[in-house]
Structure 1
Amino acid sequence: MRGSKGKQLSSLIYSVSKNNSKTLEQTNSTTSKPSKKSKIAFRTTSSTDSVSLSSSLLDFQKQKKKEKKEKGLFGAILNIFGGTGTPGSTSNEAAVDSCKLPATDVPEVKKSQEEDIDKQWFSSSSNTFLAHRHKTISRERKEKWVFKNTQGDRFQRLVSMCGDRLGTNTTLAVFGRLKRETGQKEFKALIELCVEKARESQDEDESINHIHRAYRLFEEMKEQGFQIEDEVFGPLLLYLIDMKFEDEFYFFSEVIKEGNSAVLPRLGYYEMLFWIKVDNTDKVQELCSSIVFDADGFHLAENYLLALCETDREELLQLLEVVDITKLSSLDYVSSIFKSIGRVSLEEVAEKFILALKTSEVEADNLSYFICNYAMSMLNLAVEDVISKFEYLHEKLDVRPSITSYEKLVSYCCDSLQVHAALDIAEKMSQLDLALSVEIFYPILQAVEESCELDLVHPIYSIIRRHNLKPSTEALRILINLHVKIKDFEGAYNMLSDLKEMGIKPTSGMYNSIIAGYLREKNLPAGEMVFNQMKNADVKPDSRTFSYLIANSESEEDIIKYFEEMKSANVHATKHVYMSLINAYVNCGQFEKAKQVVLDQGVPVKNINEIKSVVVSALASSGQMSDALKFYDEMKQEGCEIDQKAVLSLIEHLQFEGELNRLLQLLEELKDPDFWFDGCERVVIYCVRHKHLSSAINLLKQLMDQDKMSIYAVLDQVYISLLPLYYPM
């Protein structure tokens, strides 16, 4: 049974292929009707039911009261790309007007989320509350090494932001006005946005509009001479498959393959996925039996295999009876097969395929990789059992384990936080005279931090030194930091000495880890000693160095000394420095000076709300509740967004009699579920302590509505907090 959304979408798409709307005439786009040979005929619709494409496009002609805001937003976009003038200026407004589509091109339809131009352009989201397990990990974890480069997709994110705020049509118009060529990357980002919005939408008309925008983008790509490739059309077809929209799936398939026969094998992959999704076994078997083993047919068979592998269908084995696994064009296809048979534990089949591949002189490293994929895909096995299966199959089939497969196995162990097992594999590689690379220890270091097995830093560093490996400076900083966390300052210092033998220059981050460790131990003289050694080693302190020293200053003179030294060293004051200034002044009893920090001209504008929130937290934590609440109220009057941690700090320290209404008001400010849970727990304790039992019961009911198990944790905390009142020590 198809839902009403599917019926409307089918009717709408069919009418697109049947009628030429004014919009399509103006853009010289054409839509071909589905071929008569199409496997599924499109449903016909009467003229009263058909909806033209132009009647479904987004209407960007807003009321006059919104046009000013819209122009300001367009101006901001122009400035991002190097435009002149200020947002909302006359020059920008003219540019914006020239970017807008004619009224005939964008007829009025039901309002969608895309039209909400009133939203703030750069929204500042609240910090996510860490789960209980992460609370045990030191604050330095947020500096954890990220092993991927996100710079490459920066422009794609910008395109997505523009499409989200302005709409796909208008975004393309903006790019055109800026004389920037719209390429595959831009089209891909906007089509993905359309699909995402269609998935999120609960409104049928709005969802249909998003799919139509994707269709328009397809037509625009074809008009500009682009081939529609898998990375572009894949997300849309997967959405149609998930929604089980059969007619729409075949319609878009026709649009994609028109004049682009190279995508036919890949479309076969999605077609197989569709019939698997709707659980039509007859169609699945029909596709398998229809393969003609010429060049094109074999590529089609490979894509059928891939779809069957991903869904673990029994037809996979039937197809493999007629497809020679040794002739597959990509190792990825072979890996997918071994993963699939691993999930269903078909060991005999795996052994048969390995022997067949071995006979066809496939490289031993690849054979080891396939065995690894099989063992790691087996379900409900403990990590040590996976390792045992990996070793057993290599020995039985006489395949030498490869470096790549061992590295993959190490990552698998680390994902499960089995650090000891990962280290054992590294030692075994050494025994087999396999070349150890330093990269194999990067996931191990992350797992050590997450599992809190910090003592393992010693054997890790021992292996690195024994094999004369040269880690990156960031890996060395993590190693030093791990030594500091277990209070092995001598080991951390020895690592700094080892850097000379490695030919590596120490960094400020390495010294900062040792300084921060001493300061956490309240050993300010030792921290200052490391600071001086840092300068003697010709390592320039950074903003993080000074933020540590300022935050732990014991007098106003020390605060000023470190801040002035930072300015003399031409180190830019970051938000962390200003936060440290606030906390340091509060700790020294200089509450007015703490509040005046936010007035400094150097405070980053983008971080002003976050820094002001620190003032609230610091004042509340030091018992200055009246000042904290006053500062909080001023922020609210100014329309500032207050950090969730600051609100939670107010709730935690506002425990005086007669503050129930204020506490309930603050609790409403906590939008993040984790922060709300902690805040609710504290308010319940307050209510019980001051005998506001009806309010306590109401809050407990709210907790139960969100998470029934949470109420037990709250009651435990209530009991613990009240215990000293009845049983004083």
Structure 2
Amino acid sequence: MPVSKAKNLASLLRSGAALAKTTAPTASGDIAAKRYVSSVRSSASTASESTQNRFVHSSNTQSPSFNSPSKPLIGAFDGCSDDHYNEDQEGLLSQEISSILCGDVDSKVVNPPKSQVISRDKTLENVLGVPCISNIPSSDVSLRRKEVSRERKQKWVLKICQKTRLDRLVELCFNQLGIDATVQVFGKLRRETGLVEYNALIRSCIEKARMMDNEEESLKQLSVAYKFLKSMREQGFQLQEDFYGQVLMYLIDCGMVPEFHFYCELIRDGNADSLPNLAYYEMLLFIKTKNIDKVEELCYNLALYDGKDKDTFLEKYLLAMSSGDCKEQFLQLLNTLDITKVTSMKSLTCIFKSLGKLMLENIAEKCFLDLKTSDVEAEKISSFIFEYTTSVPNLAVEDIVLKFKNLHAEMDVTPSSAQWEKLIKFSCELLKVHIALDIVDQMYEQGLALSIEAFNLILGACEESYEYNLVRRMHSIISCYNLKPNSESFRMMINLSVKMKDFAGAYNLTSDLQKFNLMPTASMYNAIMGGYFREKNIHGGLMVLKQMEDAKVKPDSQTFSYLLRNCNCEDDIIKFYDELTLSGVQVTKHVYMALINAYASCGQFEKAKQVILGKGIPVKNLNEVKSMLVSALAAHGQVSDALEVYEEIKQAKCNLDPRSVSRLIDHLQSEGEFNRLLQLLDELDERNHWIGACFKVISYCVRHEDLRSVIELLKKLKDMYNDDEVAREVLFDEVFYRIAEKEPRTMHFGWNLLQSIKKDIGLRPSRKCLDFLLSACISAKDLPTCFKIWEEYIEAGLPHNSLSYLRMYQALLALGSQKSAKNMLSKISKEDPHVRAVIYASRAAYRNGAPVGGKKNAKADLRPETMNILSKLEANYK
């Protein structure tokens, strides 16, 4: 079963902690949710007698879609029991509801002894403010229902602006209780459930199902979703795609064909309007499960179908095919489609994306012309051209822009600002900043204006692509094209100037703010201050603080974080922290982390450890702050203290921040720490962090010549990059680079590693691997292994070239084998002046063989000029 991150699940009210086997939320729970729950303490009782939107049964018109649905696993869809609680369970349920509705979200719920269980009737009366429904005389029920209905209209009318609050409340409740207990609460409170609540509940069930690794548990969540859909239909709500679509998509993703049809039977019963949508999901199901026979069968049935809604079904099928690889069937349906009759922008967009993906340019151009002759707006045609051109595979961004312009010219359509900016965004996402700027120039040539959002997008791409120098061109765009930047634009330009160490340019930008009636902000000055501190220019960083005072800009928490992190003594720490407190700036997690770094830098390790004891640290940030403490202690040599804090974090069942794990691995390099290193490595889930840490562990193993451990780690790397040969080769090259760097006393370890990689991992060494081993032979003074490695080139299918001969010549000279070196020299072509220069330099460096003590590699005795020539030769032979 696929697994994805859950967002929101379950209902509006909390329920039995005993049933859910959980505790109430902590003090860091959502305050908005707490107030929202508290506002309903007297309003949730019985359901309204009225029902809405009763189904009107459809006619018996046959649809081209759907085979007769099967009904497998019906028993699996009875996962929610309708039995009532026993008395003990109801008492616990009532206590939990009472604590929530009365605002006591911080309470810790435990299982009380039976003697303390409050009676059912009395508890529900206290919680809801009304007697239990089952005990109210029948003559009073109707009156009470009307009163509750009025209260509900006042407190439970859910507007659009409340949707986020509802989702957060649903998430809070379900995380504490689980779906079963939540469903029971709805039954107990007789709360009327509306469309918004049903949607949240169904979405929660599906997201919970995606989290499950166990198929039985997933089916249980599906059964709950099924009952919600069934309940909606029984209450007269129309089953719309927003509700059942998420369920069907989960079934499609899991390839659950029989279950899919089982749900479709419920959805389409008396709901003829759903048939085209169900046809889309059915086609999507067979495409995802690669059942081409069924896809062709659906297409054949559609060809025979002559209903008025045939075009609708055709559109839905094409929409489904846009996500799959069914070129033949897609073309078959497209040939029968009148593109001008498709009214859905989503469908048209998907069709043109598919045409681009399948590189069907002639058909796309015909469709563009058909739309133009049918008086479709030029803006829409321009949008479709963008979708088509950006979907063509293996097309460079420059060619995409050219095709975009040519198609507009052919269709005699002028691109709008919106489409140009979409192309700018597309270029920026691929970090093609120069192309994005060229598009800006073309826009202004056509008299079109650039939005500030697009301008800021380009600035962001400049930073990501390290094109910091483009800030000058961006600044000229402002003046040349009369663009009015905002504060964020200036902050980003200042940041780019600082990263290219143009502090004068950054200050000049702050002076330009007045031209645009903008005020300087703390974040602008923080960018300059951070740049100075990164350059270890403490005086420059403090001068920024003076500039802020002159500009009457108040420092924020980031400002004080920079100042504290760069304090040189305890007095400065106290000074800046006092200023922070007096200024009323909020003490954020970054401030606490800066304090830890500051104390550790000053050697005040006990005070650094005391920072995490502060009561002001939010619970949700405490783990991050502790991770920073581990990192700071390790970085300053206090490894034992860092490990002690690390153990505390593990005992609290929290995870160490990946950067702190990496820092700890950096400093656990003494002999005998291998098991601890592996333990830390296992804690890293994020791929990039794991790879970096893995190489640090490999380096440790190489230094201590632990061959078995190196091979085990390399096997994991091979599995991780099994489909990326280039990346795998680079990673393995790095391992042999470590061998060449460590000045081995013998070549025993390096040679055995080479053979193990060939035999145990099944990989051939790259040319760079063998080059590094040749370099290691020099420092190990191992001439026999040098000749064996020379043979490995041929065995690995790497023919000797001029660069290989040149490297071997250097190695033989360095090892004092003058006769072999002379023989090797005769095989080197000397036509290239660069090759001749390396030969002369090698003779001068190794005239008398390797010096006593050896060097790290064959290049160590060469002049920098010679090393540069070698680098150029390597590039030529790649």
TM category, shorter: 0.7 to 0.9
- Does the CA contact (< 8 Å) of 1:222 and 1:228 recur in 2? yes
Shift of 1:422: 0.9
- Does the CA contact (< 8 Å) of 1:410 and 1:440 recur in 2? yes
Shift of 1:632: 3.3
Shift of 1:383: 0.9
Match of 2:350 in 1: 336
Q: Is residue 2:732 matched to residue 1:712? A: yes
541-550 or 451-460, larger mean C-alpha shift: 451-460
- Partner Cα distance (2:712, 2:76) in 1: 52
Match of 1:307 in 2: 320
- Does the CA contact (< 8 Å) of 1:685 and 1:721 recur in 2? no
1:41 to 38, 56, 68: 68
Q: Is residue 2:539 matched to residue 1:539? A: no
SS in 2 for 1:41: coil
Aligned ranges for residues 376-415 of structure 1 at < 5 Å?
A: 376-415=390-429
1:57 to 75, 80, 83: 80
- Partner Cα distance (1:686, 1:189) in 2: 51
Q: Is residue 2:640 matched to residue 1:626? A: yes
Q: Is residue 2:374 matched to residue 1:351? A: no
SS in 2 for 1:504: coil
- Does the CA contact (< 8 Å) of 2:564 and 2:573 recur in 1? yes
Match of 1:601 in 2: 615
CA RMSD of aligned residues (A): 4.2
329-338 or 378-387, larger mean C-alpha shift: 329-338
1:205 to 216, 228, 237: 216
- Partner Cα distance (1:454, 1:657) in 2: 43
Shift of 1:348: 2.2
Letter aligned with residue 645 of structure 1: R
Aligned ranges for residues 210-289 of structure 1 at < 5 Å?
A: 210-277=221-288, 278-279=291-292, 280-289=294-303
**TM-score after normalising by structure 1:** 0.78
Shift of 1:261: 3.2
| Structure 1 pair 520–435 and aligned structure 2 pair: CA distance change class (3 A) | same
Letter aligned with residue 715 of structure 1: V
Match of 1:587 in 2: 601
Residue by residue over 1:71-129, the C-alpha shift from the partner in whole angstroms, topping out at 9 and shown as x without a partner, is: 79995996599445613179999799979xxxxxxxxxxxxxxxxxxxxxxxxxxxxxx
- Partner Cα distance (1:77, 1:560) in 2: 47
Shift of 1:570: 0.5
Shift of 1:459: 1.3
- Partner Cα distance (1:95, 1:422) in 2: 70
Match of 1:104 in 2: none
Letter aligned with residue 722 of structure 1: K
- Partner Cα distance (1:457, 1:472) in 2: 15
Letter aligned with residue 107 of structure 2: T
- Partner Cα distance (2:666, 2:386) in 1: 51
662-671 or 251-260, larger mean C-alpha shift: 662-671
SS in 2 for 1:377: coil
- Partner Cα distance (1:621, 1:432) in 2: 57
Letter aligned with residue 88 of structure 1: V
SS in 2 for 1:417: coil
Q: Is residue 2:473 matched to residue 1:453? A: no
Aligned ranges for residues 446-595 of structure 1 at < 5 Å?
A: 446-595=460-609
- Partner Cα distance (1:704, 1:319) in 2: 44
- Does the CA contact (< 8 Å) of 1:288 and 1:319 recur in 2? no
Letter aligned with residue 318 of structure 2: L
- Does the CA contact (< 8 Å) of 2:276 and 2:312 recur in 1? yes
- Does the CA contact (< 8 Å) of 2:77 and 2:219 recur in 1? no
- Partner Cα distance (2:245, 2:166) in 1: 21
Shift of 1:271: 3.1
- Partner Cα distance (1:93, 1:673) in 2: 50
- Does the CA contact (< 8 Å) of 2:210 and 2:218 recur in 1? yes
- Partner Cα distance (2:93, 2:567) in 1: 45
SS in 1 for 2:554: coil
- Does the CA contact (< 8 Å) of 1:292 and 1:298 recur in 2? no
- Partner Cα distance (1:678, 1:170) in 2: 44
Shift of 1:290: 4.3
Q: Is residue 2:107 matched to residue 1:86? A: yes
| Structure 1 pair 659–319 and aligned structure 2 pair: CA distance change class (3 A) | closer
- Does the CA contact (< 8 Å) of 1:484 and 1:492 recur in 2? yes
Match of 2:749 in 1: none
Match of 1:15 in 2: none
- Does the CA contact (< 8 Å) of 1:276 and 1:284 recur in 2? no
Letter aligned with residue 735 of structure 2: L
- Does the CA contact (< 8 Å) of 2:299 and 2:333 recur in 1? no
Shift of 1:430: 0.3
Match of 1:120 in 2: none
Q: Is residue 2:456 matched to residue 1:429? A: no
Match of 1:366 in 2: 380
Letter aligned with residue 51 of structure 1: G
Q: How many residues align?
A: 647
- Does the CA contact (< 8 Å) of 2:70 and 2:261 recur in 1? no
232-241 or 384-393, larger mean C-alpha shift: 232-241
- Partner Cα distance (2:709, 2:365) in 1: 66
Residue by residue over 1:493-515, the C-alpha shift from the partner in whole angstroms, topping out at 9 and shown as x without a partner, is: 22212211111222211111111
| Structure 1 pair 424–556 and aligned structure 2 pair: CA distance change class (3 A) | same
- Does the CA contact (< 8 Å) of 1:198 and 1:207 recur in 2? yes
- Does the CA contact (< 8 Å) of 2:92 and 2:111 recur in 1? no
- Partner Cα distance (2:95, 2:469) in 1: 55
Residue by residue over 1:593-640, the C-alpha shift from the partner in whole angstroms, topping out at 9 and shown as x without a partner, is: 212212223222322222122222111111122333344345545655
- Partner Cα distance (1:94, 1:484) in 2: 66
Residue by residue over 1:423-468, the C-alpha shift from the partner in whole angstroms, topping out at 9 and shown as x without a partner, is: 1111100001112221222332232222222222221222133223
| Structure 1 pair 694–389 and aligned structure 2 pair: CA distance change class (3 A) | closer
Residue by residue over 1:650-709, the C-alpha shift from the partner in whole angstroms, topping out at 9 and shown as x without a partner, is: 221122344445444444444555444433433333333245555445544555555573
Shift of 1:573: 0.8
Q: Which runs of 5+ in 1 are unaligned?
A: 4-26, 100-149
- Partner Cα distance (2:495, 2:336) in 1: 57
- Partner Cα distance (1:72, 1:82) in 2: 16
Letter aligned with residue 657 of structure 2: D
Match of 1:22 in 2: none
Letter aligned with residue 239 of structure 1: Y
- Does the CA contact (< 8 Å) of 2:600 and 2:632 recur in 1? yes
**TM-score after normalising by structure 2:** 0.66
Q: Which runs of 5+ in 2 are unaligned?
A: 2-46, 128-160, 723-727, 746-778, 780-854, 861-878
| Structure 1 pair 595–340 and aligned structure 2 pair: CA distance change class (3 A) | same
Shift of 1:357: 1.9
- Does the CA contact (< 8 Å) of 1:41 and 1:247 recur in 2? no
SS in 2 for 1:51: helix
SS in 2 for 1:412: helix
Match of 1:418 in 2: 432
Residue by residue over 1:127-169, the C-alpha shift from the partner in whole angstroms, topping out at 9 and shown as x without a partner, is: xxxxxxxxxxxxxxxxxxxxxxx99756436535644663334
Largest Rg, 1 or 2:
2
Shift of 1:301: 3.6
- Partner Cα distance (1:637, 1:508) in 2: 40
Percent of paired sites with the same residue: 44
Shift of 1:546: 0.2
- Partner Cα distance (2:655, 2:257) in 1: 46
75-84 or 638-647, larger mean C-alpha shift: 75-84
| Structure 1 pair 401–250 and aligned structure 2 pair: CA distance change class (3 A) | same
| Structure 1 pair 596–347 and aligned structure 2 pair: CA distance change class (3 A) | same
641-650 or 446-455, larger mean C-alpha shift: 641-650
SS in 2 for 1:512: helix
Letter aligned with residue 109 of structure 2: G
Aligned ranges for residues 646-661 of structure 1 at < 5 Å?
A: 646-661=660-675
| Structure 1 pair 599–219 and aligned structure 2 pair: CA distance change class (3 A) | same
